[in-house]
Amino acid sequence: MHIIDTGLCGVKRIQPKQFGDARGWFAETYNADRFLAAGLPAEFAQDNQSFSSRGVLRGLHYQLEQPQGKLVRVLSGHIWDVAVDLRRDSPDFRKWAGFHLKPPSPDQPLEMLWIPEGFAHGFLVLSETAEVLYKATRGYYPAGERCIVWNDPTLAIDWPLDQLAGLTPEVSERDARGAAFLAAELP
């Protein structure tokens, strides 16, 4: 497995090795011993999967008291995945990074994104539909659930809205009521 630093402290691109032949390919996407040896978490508490249509924007989500690290992978479609560093003691506090994530193809390697605890996470669906699978280091904790509004001017995330063919991002009621970054309760 190749682990690639992204420039945002702690966020990694992970490219598992694929073994292929005329029948297709096989890849080991998680192995506790290999993850531990690479400095990644060896245990996950919960798997989540979502299916969304073009223009759906989920996030920017995070949890207080029981933060979640996330290992994100796209099973079908194309998303713009965003991580925002909320760790006050981090040199990257308040910085964000965005990543195009797609399933593997002849010119696209199998790739996952590791987002450590202490980050807000969200994504925008750029294809007709997308299925996203992510492993979380802790379970869902409703009392600690928080959201920063996706278009917060302080963060100024450069969402690729031009790729939506004129659609306006579709967010849940909860996400639409997300806090402004400067007013958000942070970890």
| 61 is known as an active-site residue | yes
Q: Compute how many other C-beta atoms are within 10 angstroms of the C-beta atom of residue 1.
A: 18
Among 30, 61, 62, 78, the active-site one is 61
**One of 62, 78, 121, 134 is an active-site residue; which one?**
134
Whether the bond between 71 and the residue before it is cis, its omega within 30 degrees of 0, is no
Q: Return the HEC string of 139-173.
A: CCCHHHEEEECCCCCCCCCCCCHHHHCCCCCECCH
Annotated catalytic residue 134: yes
Closest CA to 79 of 47, 101, 48, 57: 101
Residue 67 phi, psi dihedral angles, 5° rounding: -65, 150
Name the residues annotated as catalytic: 61, 134
